[in-house]
Structure 1
Amino acid sequence: MRLSIIEGIYARVYSGLCMIGSGFVTKFMVLLGASPLQFSLLSALGQVAALFEPLGVAFTHRLPRRKWACVWLTAAGRVLTMFLGAALFFTARQAGIWFVLAVLFLASSLQAMGANVWIAWMSDLIPLKIRGRFFSRRNQILMLAGMIVSYVVSIYVDMFESTGGFLRWLLVESVGLGKWFVPQNQATFLAWMFVGATLIGLYGLKILAKQPERPLKKVAKGRLRDEYSQPFTDANFRRLLVFGIWWMLATGVGSAFWGPFMLKNLGMGMFRMQVYATLHGAASLFSLLYWGKFIDRFGNKTAMKICIILGGLNPMFWLFVSPSNYNILLLEGAISG
């Protein structure tokens, strides 16, 4: 279980820097000149890629072990993000934007397949009676690590738009980098950051490969088609599917534009966005102290009902924000966490 936490830290840092949902990817798209349609596609790619998760079953259907299928599928997805910065080599910026979207789609699809295998693998390792508490504690540690790294990177990203101040002098001018930290080099910095984040993610897979795997129980396996259709015979699964579709429709309408709205309309820098994310993450860390025990005692369904009610209030805050009062979002970030 300790290895799972260490590997998870590398995975969280990687995804926080260069995967769909990362503020740094959104910033890169803003610098490339992405349109609202392209931002909406960026947001949708994560959900579309999730459709490939069932293919993970196909990869492991006849395999005696799941570990290496998980590692190699995830590695294939992660290595692609190393090339996100290649969008800067396109003479037509629109072509570069579509290149970024294509890379993220392929990377997310492959990692979604690997994630499905990982869930089954970890479920065999973690006893059911402590699973809720373990993953709550694991998520706490992962969130904290991801926030720290994202804060540091966001400070340096904002240095490209800063013209003075003690922080710029300390981090940039004092080491002779003042001439390089200018706005026209910001996208290049992000491109190299994607390379570094990818290497971090790949090293995390080296740790994941050391994770033990319990031998699969020998059971008669039917046709792959039957395994895919079996969940649909469960009434609870069908209800969960309907809820998932409804929730994605509800959140997907606006979630694509939150990041671009902060950067372009409200004039927030990456550091300010990280403050917002920190409040969200800190509230999550605090609540996870109780959610694990709550879920173990009352179940996931009750916890989901509470979260849905609170989550429905969040969009209301965005109706009243402007460049002069966007601190209102700090309260929204805390509630959403």
Structure 2
Amino acid sequence: MCASRSVYPPGATNANWFGLFNAVSWQIMLGTPTVLYARSQGAGATVLGLIASFTPLLVVFQIPAAHLLPRYGYRRFILAGWGTRSFFIFAMAGVPLLTGLPPWARLSLVILCMFAFNLIRGIASGAWLPWMSELIPHEVRGRFLSRDMVFSQVGSLIALSVSAAVLRGNVQPWQFSAVFLLSAVSATVSLWYLNRIPDVTAPDRLRRSGQRVPWKHMLMYAPFLRLAIFNVLWVAAVGGLGVFTVAYLRGVLGYSESLILRFSAAGIIGGLATAPWIGRLLDREGSRPVMKLSLAVFLLILLVWWLVAASVVAATVTIIAAVHLVSGVAGTAFAVANSRLMMAIMPVMGRNHFFALFTVITSIALGASPIGWGVFLDAMRGFQRTTGFAAWNNYSIYFALVWMLCAATLAYASYLHEPPPPADEPPAARSPVPAPSGVHEGTA
């Protein structure tokens, strides 16, 4: 998975290996295993939405963190944050073993650990994008992103495969604890690779980027504003989709924890099948056509979820696995294309704050989305109507509404601006790679 030094700058491979072990960690902490454990402790859709909202909402702390980057530097800043958050992963591993506490108390501790974990993550993650901006040149950006996605997807597949193997049968508390311990150990190993990435801060540019900036003028920069609106529509549609499909599979269809984790692994396999070639396609065709195609595929995926929830088609294992597999393909293509377009439109001057502002805007929407959808699903829990061949309940209505929002996102994609690649880009003007999965989510 390593690349030639003539293609990628020194240190890039360490960033990829960091992404792999980081993905093992966050796929457990921010993914299906945590949702399943919270469900086992009695969490409803509203509580699950609250837990899912911590990751994006607490990214708002990237705004004040951007002012600290010139003082501490990229590597030192993110090392401190990632090291501190690892403590709360180890604490999470101990929660299932507290069997003397009632379920509501253990669930409260889960919420506390997740809040602290995401708070530290939200502060530290602001250093990643500017740091990587000094490493990756424009001409190999798509290929680097696809390679980084491969590493991340491999880490996610490892996490889900091990979790599925551990959480089998009549799941006991120690099994959940073992899965969370894997997350903690992987987070610790990722720090070793993180420390080996060269700290390539350009002091003069970094100081200029850290000065007070005109937020209103930044926001009204047309390419930036259009992409921000597009992403707000997108995350409003899919925010919490991963959480609530897990809740639907477990709570309504009654699938086991192990089988649900294998469904999630199918999505990772779809992403792995896509990542190796999507970068070259993006470098050749551009980001916007790929994003449109991915959104069209997502409309078909959401239609299948609606058909299942409305009892129009049977929820067979084959259908659910296929939906996850195709979701992995479309999700990976969209994530890489979206990140590539984001990098292309960010001006060099004030880059720290442009990325922080963009991330905060989209993350607030992504945080509000699962809370809103969770409240909606709980409020509509007892609703049952039948019209013709379709059964209308809280989940079938939910998937229908998400489909409409996704359709609106696809329509708005035509307004996005994609600048042509610079003919001769100096190293100082290189744009950054996206944060690894789990640094900002998704995607992660």
TM-score (structure 2 length as normaliser): 0.64
Verify: 1:249 aligned to 2:236, yes or no: yes
Residues 158-217 of structure 1: per-residue CA shift (max 9 Å, x gap): 1x42xxxxxxxxxxxxxxxxxxxxx4xx22321243133212202211221111122414
Q: Which residue of 1 aligns with 2:269?
A: 282
- Between the aligned partners of 1:223 and 1:153, the Cα distance in structure 2 is 42
Give the residue type in structure 1 aligned to 2:21: Y
**Structure 2 segments unaligned to the other structure (5+ residues):** 1-11, 329-444
Report the 3-state secondary structure (helix = DSSP H, G, I; strand = E; otherwise coil) of the residue aligned with 2:134: helix
CA shift for structure 1 position 224? 4.5
1:85–1:188 Cα contact (<8 Å) kept:
no
Verify: 1:10 aligned to 2:18, yes or no: no
Count the aligned residue pairs: 310
Q: Which residue of 1 aligns with 2:62?
A: 53
CA shift for structure 1 position 231? 2.8
Give the residue type in structure 2 aligned to 1:206: W
Q: Which residue of 1 aligns with 2:79?
A: 71
Give the residue type in structure 2 aligned to 1:200: S
1:136–1:291 Cα contact (<8 Å) kept:
yes
CA shift for structure 1 position 85? 4.1
CA shift for structure 1 position 229? 5.0
Give the residue type in structure 2 aligned to 1:45: F
Change (3 A) 1:196 1:267: same
Give the residue type in structure 2 aligned to 1:68: R
Report the 3-state secondary structure (helix = DSSP H, G, I; strand = E; otherwise coil) of the residue aligned with 1:266: coil
Give the residue type in structure 1 aligned to 2:112: A
- Between the aligned partners of 1:290 and 1:196, the Cα distance in structure 2 is 30
Q: Which residue of 1 aligns with 2:326?
A: 335
Give aligned-pair identity as a percent: 18
CA shift for structure 1 position 118? 1.3
Give the residue type in structure 1 aligned to 2:32: G
Q: Which residue of 2 aligns with 1:170?
A: none
Change (3 A) 1:103 1:224: farther
1:76–1:110 Cα contact (<8 Å) kept:
yes
CA shift for structure 1 position 222? 6.8
Q: Which residue of 2 aligns with 1:189?
A: 175
- Between the aligned partners of 1:246 and 1:253, the Cα distance in structure 2 is 14
Q: Which residue of 1 aligns with 2:39?
A: 30
Aligned partner of 1:100 among 101, 110, 113: 110
1:42–1:256 Cα contact (<8 Å) kept:
no
Residues 98-143 of structure 1: per-residue CA shift (max 9 Å, x gap): 3212321221232233222112111211222112101201211331
Q: Within 5 A, what are the aligned runs for 1:256-335?
A: 256-321=243-308, 325-335=316-326
**Structure 1 segments unaligned to the other structure (5+ residues):** 162-182
1:125–1:213 Cα contact (<8 Å) kept:
no
- Between the aligned partners of 1:56 and 1:131, the Cα distance in structure 2 is 26
Q: Which residue of 2 aligns with 1:179?
A: none
- Between the aligned partners of 1:123 and 1:275, the Cα distance in structure 2 is 36
- Between the aligned partners of 2:24 and 2:124, the Cα distance in structure 1 is 18
Of 117-126 and 44-53, deviating more is 44-53
CA RMSD in angstroms, aligned pairs only: 2.4
- Between the aligned partners of 2:57 and 2:217, the Cα distance in structure 1 is 22
- Between the aligned partners of 1:140 and 1:209, the Cα distance in structure 2 is 21
Q: Which residue of 2 aligns with 1:114?
A: 124
Change (3 A) 1:295 1:29: same
Change (3 A) 1:147 1:226: same
2:266–2:325 Cα contact (<8 Å) kept:
yes
- Between the aligned partners of 1:216 and 1:92, the Cα distance in structure 2 is 53
Give the residue type in structure 1 aligned to 2:154: L
Structure 1 or 2: larger helix share? 1
2:88–2:113 Cα contact (<8 Å) kept:
yes
Of 254-263 and 84-93, deviating more is 84-93
Change (3 A) 1:256 1:154: closer
Higher relative contact order (CA closer than 8 Å, sequence separation 6+): 2
Q: Which residue of 2 aligns with 1:144?
A: 154
1:85–1:191 Cα contact (<8 Å) kept:
yes
Aligned partner of 1:134 among 116, 119, 144: 144
- Between the aligned partners of 2:210 and 2:276, the Cα distance in structure 1 is 42
